[in-house]
Every structure is written in structure tokens, then in C-alpha cells.
Chain A
Amino acid sequence: MGIQLIGIAFGLFMAYLTYLYYKRKNLSFNDLAIWMAIWAGFVFVTIFPEALEGFVKPLMFYRLLDLLMVVSFMVLFVLIFLMYSTNRKNEQKINRIVREIALKKER
């Protein structure tokens, strides 16, 4: 029960943080919808872990916790990859902007 309470509190806190970022216009409505769905799913699984029980055996996992760990790592790696590629794209854009400004404003 203790771990469930922590999970629920974490999910709600992240949902609040997401809303705050949306209100500050750091996130679009689409971002808000996607992240809220993720946090809602997280809270749901925390409250009703047995909802995933049906996946444990067919996927050859020993315990529900193992399944959650594997899925969590997969999600994390996807997020890291997306962040890395976004970062690289932004880096290239910054490079172009900085160089163009420098070359246009020669003194």
C-alpha cells in the first residue's frame, strides 16, 4: 500500500507540473493531452496493478514488477533518444542562426 501511495502522489504531482508548464505556455495543448494520458495511465496502474496481470504470463515474465521495470526502461530509453535527436536538431539550428548573424553583421 505504501508504494502505491508514493506512486499516486508522484503521478498527481507530475500531472500538476505538466498543467503548470501548459499554463506557462511551455507546452502545447497536444503535449498536455499526451502527458496527462501518460500520468493518468501511471496512476491507474499504480492503483490497479492487477489490470496488467494478464500480460505477465503470456510475455513470460515472472512477476508484474519485472514487466513494469522492463516497460519503464524501454520508455526511458525512447525518451532519451527523442531528447537526444531533438537536442541535435536544435544544435544545428543554433549553429546556423549564430553563423548567419555573425556573417551578416560584419564590423
Chain B
Amino acid sequence: MIGFWRLYARSPAAVVGLALLLLVIGMALTAGMFFPNNPLALAGPPLLWPFQDAQLWLGTDNSGRDIAAQIFHGARISLLIGLAAMALAIAIGVILGALAGFYGGIADDILMRITEAFQTLPNFLLLLMLVAVFGSTLTTVTIAIGLVSWQAPARLTRAEFLSLRTREFVQAGRTIGLGDATLIFREILPNALPPVIVYASVVMAVAILLESALAFLNLSDPNVASWGNLIGLGRGVLRTAWYVSAIPGIAILITVLAVSLVGQGLNDALNPRLRGR
């Protein structure tokens, strides 16, 4: 573990990414402490510019709600959606990819054709369709984002399995009588995971962006304080009060950047070929 941290800490960008990510996580954790009231409740006059009022230091939106409170509480929503959608996408992708790569042949053909069918659809359109059909509560939005994001992890896992399944240690496992489930999940999967873990950070970053895009189109859950909702709200007053959209925009930028930098750092630390450079 200490050795891993040393590898990770060699890249300054990765450390900055981790610091930013911890900052966002800190905001999410302390939201209830600093802003105990409902962030969607009225707090002051509408469209109050930032740094005018010490109580409302990031100003208010069109309806007079505290932007700082929405940013802090929004961090919870963004991280929650990012993590949950990523977990769903990775779970689906790893299972389908593992089965396709391990069994090959017809199983591989069928599973990969399904994956390609999903891949050829632009995933945002698919997401819009899912949300249009199943409604836009926080849960359905998260699941819908997960359902449109698993194809790349599936292909990645399959590629790892294809090369690992012919390795001698897997054959050795077969000769001592291990069953397929043990071979897939206990023998091969731990060796296939590092690139998938790295890719998970990309999936998470994209999930956060997808939710924001949905919210911008007023298609996300309107009953939660999400950054996307705030941007969508600011759209109407973009020319007079641009800060309503810009502040949550910066929050999204920082979060996605942090997640991507952490992913890159993990990649460098987990990739043995880059060691010693």
C-alpha cells in the first residue's frame, strides 16, 4: 500500500487531482453542516451577485435561492450519480466482457453484437429516450446513465480476458479442477481489473457530465439541488447574470478534471511498464 502511494505520488498532476477530488468530497460531506436548510428554499432577493452579501457569498439564482448551498449540496448529487452510475456500468461491462472473453465462440459473438448495437447508438440520445420513457427521478436518471455507459468497459474486460485465458496459470487452474466461476472471478478477474479500474474514472467523469447535460435540458430530477439544474436555470438569464451558470459550471469542471487526473494517476501507478521512468 505504501509502495503504491509512492508510485502514485510520483506524478504531481495525480496528486493535484486527488486534492481536488478530496475538496469536492469534503464539500459533499460538510454540506449539511454549513447549509442545514433546504438548499432549494428561498434565501434572499433573486439574482443577487456574488460577494455582495456575507450570508449569501455566491449570490442567489433567479428565484432567490442560495447558490453556495446548491453548490455544496449539488456535490453530493453529482458524486452520488457519478459513483452509482459508474458502479452499474462497470458491473454490467465486467460481467458481459468476462463471459464473452472467457467462453469465446458463440457466447462471444452474441454478447459482442449486443454491445455493438448499443455502441452504434449515440449514448446521449439513448439516455434521452430512457429518461423520456421512465421519467426523471434521481434513481431512474442514475440507472439510465449506467445503462448507456457499459459498452467500453465490456470491450476492455473482454480484451483482457482473451489474452489472460490462454495463460498458463489459468490452464494450471483447470488442471487442478477449478470450476469456471472460480476461474473467471478469482483467477482471471483480479489480473484483468487494473485497466478497468482506470477506465472507471472516465466513466464516472462522463456520468457527471451526462447528468449535467440532462439537467441543462430540464430532463433531470427537478427536486434535487444538482449542478446541472442550476446551469439549466441560469440559461434564461445568461446575458444578465452569467454567474448563475458559470459557478456550477466551474464546479463540474473541477470535479471532472479531478476524477480524470486521479484516473490518469492510477493508470501510471498500475501500469508496470511505466515504472522506473
A and B co-occur in one complex: no
Residues of A within 8 A of B (CB): none
